[in-house]
């Protein structure tokens, strides 16, 4: 599979006339609609796999700029924290696992969010959908972290219709408007539709004189597999007798319809000429259950490309005409949205803590080279360590513990250490391809790939380029000195967090 060709270099000649063409960032801050899908795989959109019916997403991507080298953490909570803070998850201890129902932790209250800073610049800030950054005490909640309003749920996953979830034998409801209004009137209504309707209402009722920052964080296409039947019926006969895939594909098409409805509302509003739409996944597909990152290797919760390289694009009338319909191969990371949004809002504010993100607006809107040459995918010292540690020649290096789960990209090279996790190439069933698994052939815990030449991570080059391995281990060692120990207390508050003590609702207890 060949990747699309990048922007033509000649397009850079046009940047001097951007202002006269009327496509530069407007004098007033632009409206920002950030759409976040959950566990969406590389192969699960129509413009990568025509089996999937996502015409609205496809059209937005084809008319905008596709982000072909777009990266994020491999699981939900770290990815969302990096988006909001512009800082790697190792900076505040959220690199291990996702936030559980009973855990007494959340995104560190010492971290500043992009919503807070945009609100300081005069933006109206709204969050619709999934939070998953902690809720054990009031200070952790969305409206305490920069959002004017919140409509959605706190947990990582729940029933799409009943909006409830069970943990440790305890059952509770989780759907609300802001903190106090537990919205039981939505019981039985599909969350994808509810979130789209709320986002449309926000857009339609917004005062266009005030800049808008709207984050639409879909529950889809995360487990459980649930969708109204009219969407799964679209795929009758496509996946044979595999009902799970039929439902999953229906969830994709339902979300696509919702994306179309929301973006149509923005296009029809007086705000459109000064608006930017960003579409992103939070990580790769959880292919051990459902979804496909084919032809990328690996899945959610692994550091192979299938876990950390995601679907993303930008659509806006503020893009230069020469980049529309194209794509960029420049490295872009989830942490880059914070400084990019702040640039669009008038400039990066003074911050107490340094950002790991870069302003990518020129990369996206004008085809300039990315300012980013390095991505730390993660360092997780609490991840399960390999049992067999006798065959790794780098085990005694002085720079970094190679049995620690970690990965880093510098330039063309990507180094992975520690346990591989799901290292398969997993296609969707209609393709006719077989799952490819090399785990039985792999005993190594240090792997090196040249991603531009080998985007599917077939050829481990660690033995051929020991000098590159050494340099990247040194860099991991430098990052490890800056790493906060993972804050992962386990399930500790089964008693106090029990929904039975909170009128049957998952709610703060700390």
Q: What is the pLDDT of residue 439?
A: 61
Phi-psi map region of 59: left, alpha, beta (phi>0 left; psi -120 to 50 alpha): alpha
Those residues whose C-beta lies under 8 Å from the C-beta of residue 454, and which sit 6 or more positions away, are: none
What confidence tens digit (pLDDT) does each residue in 392-435 have? 789 999 999 999 999 999 999 999 999 888 899 999 899 888 88
**pLDDT value at position 222?**
97
Q: Of the listed 48, 76, 222, 377, which one is catalytic?
A: 76
pLDDT of residue 442: 56
Q: What stretches of 429-499 adopt beta strand conformation (E)? A: 446-450
pLDDT at site 389: 57
Q: Encoding tokens for residue 471?
A: 């340099």
* Bond prior to 187 in cis (omega within 30° of 0): no
pLDDT tens across 481-507, in order? 999 998 888 878 888 999 999 999 999
Kindly indicate the confidence band of residue 510, based on its pLDDT and cuts at 50, 70 and 90.
confident
Return the pLDDT at 394: 92
User: How far is Cα 260 from Cα 255, in angstroms, rounded to an integer?
Assistant: 9
Q: CA-to-CA distance for 300 and 249, rounded, in angstroms?
A: 18
Q: What is the pLDDT of residues 200-256, one digit of tens each?
A: 999 999 999 999 999 999 999 999 999 999 999 999 999 998 999 999 999 999 999
Is 106 part of the annotated catalytic residue set?
A: no
Whether 303 contacts 378, CB under 8 Å: yes
Render pLDDT for 124-149 as a digit per residue (tens, 0 to 9): 999 999 999 999 999 999 999 999 99
Q: What is the pLDDT of residue 390?
A: 55
Q: Is it the case that residue 363 has pLDDT exceeding 90?
A: yes
The 10 Å Cβ neighbour count of residue 203 is: 25
CATH number attached to the domain at 28-372: 3.40.720.10
Instruction: Report percent pLDDT > 90 for the chain.
Output: 83
Per-range mean pLDDT, top range of 18-27, 31-40, 93-102, 486-495: 31-40
Query: Alpha-carbon distance 68 to 332, whole Å?
Result: 9
Beta strands 312-315; 65-67: pairing state? antiparallel
CA torsion sign, 390 to 391 to 393 to 398? Answer: negative
Count of helices and strands (H, E) across the chain: 11, 18
| Residue of 132, 163, 170, 320 marked active site | 132
Average pLDDT over residues 151-175: 96
Percent of the chain with pLDDT over 70: 93
pLDDT(380) > 70: yes
Residue 85: strand, helix, or coil: helix
Which whole-number Å values give the CA distances from 259 to 32, 334, 447, in the listed order? Answer: 15, 20, 38
For 501, how many CA atoms within 13 A lie in the half-sphere containing its CB? 10
Cα-based torsion angle of the residue sequence 377, 383, 389, 394 in order, rounded to the nearest 10 degrees: 30
Mean pLDDT across the stretch 3-17? Answer: 37
Q: What is the pLDDT of residues 268-316, one digit of tens each?
A: 999 999 999 999 999 999 987 799 999 999 999 999 999 999 999 999 9
Quote the pLDDT of residue 14. Answer: 34
What pLDDT sits at residue 239?
94
Residue 491 has a pLDDT of: 79
Gap between the terminal Cα atoms of the chain: 51
Alpha helices in 367-441 (DSSP H): none
Nearest to 83 by CA among 334, 310, 279: 334
Confidence (pLDDT) at 26:
47
Of 457, 464, 483, 459, the closest CA to residue 400 belongs to 483
Question: Is the predicted pLDDT of residue 9 greater than 80, yes or no?
Answer: no
Task: Point out which residues pair with 361 in neighbouring strands.
Answer: none
Domain boundaries, the chain: 28-372, 375-480
Residue 19's pLDDT is 35
Distance CA 494, CA 382 (A): 22
pLDDT digits (tens, 9 = 90+) for 166-181: 998 999 999 999 988 9
Kindly tell me if the per-residue pLDDT of 11 is higher than 80: no
Cβ 90 vs Cβ 376: under 8 Å? yes
CATH of domain 375-480: 3.30.1120.10
Pairwise CA distance, residues 214 & 119, whole Å: 12
Q: Is the dihedral of CA 125, 130, 131, 135 positive or negative?
A: positive
Q: Are 510 and 135 in contact (CB under 8 A)?
A: no
Per-residue model confidence as pLDDT tens digits over 39-70: 999 999 999 999 999 999 999 999 999 999 99
Q: At 479, is the pLDDT very low, low, confident or very high (cuts 50, 70, 90)?
A: very high
The residues near 273 (Cβ < 8 Å, ≥ 6 apart) are 26, 317
pLDDT at position 387, please? Answer: 65
Nearest to 380 by CA among 284, 476, 258: 476
């Amino acid at each position: 599979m060949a990747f699309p060709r990048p922007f033509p270099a000649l397009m850079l000649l046009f940047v001097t006339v951007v202002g006269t063409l009327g496509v530069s960032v407007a004098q007033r801050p632009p409206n920002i609609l950030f759409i976040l899908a959950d566990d969406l795989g590389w192969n699960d959109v129509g413009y990568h796999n025509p089996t999937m019916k996502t015409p609205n997403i496809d059209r937005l991507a084809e008319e905008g700029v596709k982000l072909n080298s777009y990266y994020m953490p491999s699981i939900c909570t770290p990815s969302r924290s990096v988006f909001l803070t512009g800082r790697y998850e190792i900076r505040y201890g959220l690199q291990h696992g996702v936030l559980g129902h009973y855990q007494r932790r959340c995104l560190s209250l010492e971290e500043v969010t992009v919503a807070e800073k945009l609100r300081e610049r005069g933006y109206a800030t709204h969050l619709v959908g999934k939070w998953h950054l902690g809720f054990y005490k009031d200070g952790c909640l969305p409206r305490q972290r920069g959002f004017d309003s919140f409509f959605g749920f706190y947990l990582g996953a729940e029933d799409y219709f009943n909006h409830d979830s069970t943990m440790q034998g305890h059952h509770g409801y989780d759907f609300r408007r802001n903190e106090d209004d537990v919205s039981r009137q939505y019981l039985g209504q599909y969350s994808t539709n509810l979130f789209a309707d709320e986002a449309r209402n926000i857009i339609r009722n917004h005062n266009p004189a005030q800049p808008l920052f709207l984050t639409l964080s879909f529950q889809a296409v995360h487990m459980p597999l649930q969708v109204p039947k009219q969407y799964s019926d679209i795929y009758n006969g496509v996946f044979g007798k595999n009902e799970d895939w039929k439902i999953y594909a229906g969830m994709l098409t339902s979300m696509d319809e919702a994306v179309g409805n929301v973006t149509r509302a923005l296009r029809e509003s007086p705000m459109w000429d000064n608006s930017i739409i960003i579409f992103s996944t939070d990580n790769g597909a959880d292919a051990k259950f459902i979804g496909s990152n084919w032809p990328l290797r690996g899945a959610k919760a692994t550091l192979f490309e299938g876990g950390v390289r995601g679907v993303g694009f930008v659509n806006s009338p503020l893009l230069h005409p020469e980049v529309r319909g194209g794509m960029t191969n420049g490295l872009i990371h989830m942490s880059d949205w914070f400084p990019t949004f702040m640039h669009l809002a008038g400039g990066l504010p003074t911050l107490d803590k340094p950002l790991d993100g870069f302003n990518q607006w020129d990369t996206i809107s004008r085809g300039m080279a990315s300012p980013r040459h390095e991505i730390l995918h993660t360092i997780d010292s609490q991840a399960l360590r390999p049992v067999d540690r006798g065959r790794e020649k780098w085990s005694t290096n002085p720079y970094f513990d190679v049995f620690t789960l970690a990965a880093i990209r510098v330039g063309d090279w990507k180094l992975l250490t520690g346990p591989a996790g799901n290292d398969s190439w997993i296609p969707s069933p209609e393709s006719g391809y077989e799952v490819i698994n090399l785990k039985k052939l792999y005993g190594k815990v240090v792997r090196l790939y040249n991603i531009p030449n080998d985007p599917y991570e077939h050829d481990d080059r660690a033995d051929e380029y020991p000098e590159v391995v050494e340099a990247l281990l040194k860099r991991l060692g430098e990052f490890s000195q800056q790493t906060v120990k993972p804050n992962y207390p386990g399930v500790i508050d089964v008693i106090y967090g029990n929904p039975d003590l909170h009128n049957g609702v998952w709610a703060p207890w700390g």
